[in-house]
Structure 1
């Protein structure tokens, strides 16, 4: 495809063990896996492929594909000249900032498939305005991918922040006093922190804090002779009554019975 050739979309079928040798293009490419399994190498980075995997290939990116089974791939190829200047900055730049393989969520994959089918239809008609239709559909596709890229970047950021919070709890469980304290250290609201942490670890930060404290308590009950009051305050509980209530609710027995039952066994 030359720099000034039209946007093209075509289907590529691969048999098991077919190998597309490393190569590159001067154009932008989006490869969408309709069915089958395989692997893709982008600039020496290896990625697995499965249905709804989408490969984003910026110009001059060396890439190759190995089919692990029969595999059908839709290939969309275009040049920057086919997108207006504003879209080049707002859509192409973020979507093609790097080569990668995306696993789209159910909604995004459905929208992408729908737009690709529409583009195939417009391409097959070749009436007087089909080129305009394809370019409009291309802009819609890039817009969806731009939004999906933003969403994935946000998820990655939340994963990193949640990991930091988990490590903070692991190291400071004995001195954390409230959820507001943790949220303040992260510079976000407690509500957003709860949502973010729960999406990654399927529990709230306070629930995880309680688990960490109780794990420490059980270890101290079975491996030391410290009295229960000392243990209670050493792990960060602010009152003995709260400690007894939480321990019995989560463990099933009071702390002293746990000690007499399990001391010397762990």
Structure 2
């Protein structure tokens, strides 16, 4: 099968738009480098190593070097292509990451949370590619690394046995990694394209609390860690863990722990005779 060369810039990362009119067929070919195809709109099929997959908007295909692939556009398709070399191999754990997570081509329907994060990474790379100042190469690589980690975590999520378990796991992971952001039940449900009531039901079935209750638990646990292990002011901790107001933080903390944040810090340090940091 033919080799198609793609020339990469100094950053070893290139993102570009690929348009496919209805009926177009891109025959089997391969590249020496890695690619992520992110389908913006339209629908069609992509063949990876002889196996065909249906593709449409918000879906992603990862293509490893020398992996044979072909594309057939059944309607007008617009695809963002992110091409990159193996520059991450120089980072601690980078080579192992490439070998374990990126050795084989994969088709993936991104969960809504991961899709939003990957879209943001692609936009940042597009911006830095246009900006092209002396920091752009470093910034581009950091955003690519973020996208790759999100994608690799998505592959792990797909091992869940059924759709509702996948959804519950997605929510839990999103909350644990984004607890400091402003999150509402409506926004979380919208991202999953289900009702807030259905979201609460499937999450409670798995974890025995609603997503918002779990969000509060995660924030309070992080606040307790900061109270014990740092000398930060309560107002700073409140801000860091994602509470919008100090009064809301105090009420939630006292309801859960039984004492105020400062009392908790004093009592815990006194009980183990630990000096403040």
- TM-score, normalising length: structure 1: 0.56
Q: Is the 8 A contact 2:88 2:94 kept in 1?
A: no
Q: How does 1:44-83 map to 2 (within 5 A)?
A: 44-83=50-89
Counterpart in the other structure of 2:27: 21
Q: Is the 8 A contact 1:92 1:142 kept in 2?
A: no
Please report how far the alpha carbon of residue 71 of structure 1 lies from its aligned counterpart in structure 2 after TM superposition. 0.5
- Cα distance, 1:4–1:155 mapped onto 2, change above 3 Å: farther
Partner Cα distance (2:140, 2:89) in 1: 11
Match of 1:128 among 114, 131, 134: 134
Whichever of the two has the greater Rg, that structure is: 1
Partner Cα distance (2:126, 2:9) in 1: 20
Is 1:147 matched up with 2:153? yes
Is 1:110 matched up with 2:116? yes
Partner Cα distance (1:118, 1:65) in 2: 26
- Cα distance, 1:138–1:83 mapped onto 2, change above 3 Å: farther
Match of 1:99 among 105, 111, 121: 105
2:70 aligns to what SS in structure 1? strand
| Structure 2 unpaired stretches of 5+ | 1-5, 166-204, 208-277
- Cα distance, 1:13–1:102 mapped onto 2, change above 3 Å: same
Partner Cα distance (1:138, 1:155) in 2: 29
RMSD: 2.7
- Cα distance, 1:83–1:137 mapped onto 2, change above 3 Å: farther
Counterpart in the other structure of 1:7: 13
Counterpart in the other structure of 2:44: 38
- TM-score, normalising length: structure 2: 0.54
Partner Cα distance (2:9, 2:125) in 1: 19
1:48 aligns to what SS in structure 2? strand
1:111 aligns to what SS in structure 2? helix
Please report how far the alpha carbon of residue 87 of structure 1 lies from its aligned counterpart in structure 2 after TM superposition. 4.6
- Cα distance, 1:63–1:26 mapped onto 2, change above 3 Å: same
| Structure 1 unpaired stretches of 5+ | 160-193, 197-266
Partner Cα distance (2:74, 2:139) in 1: 35
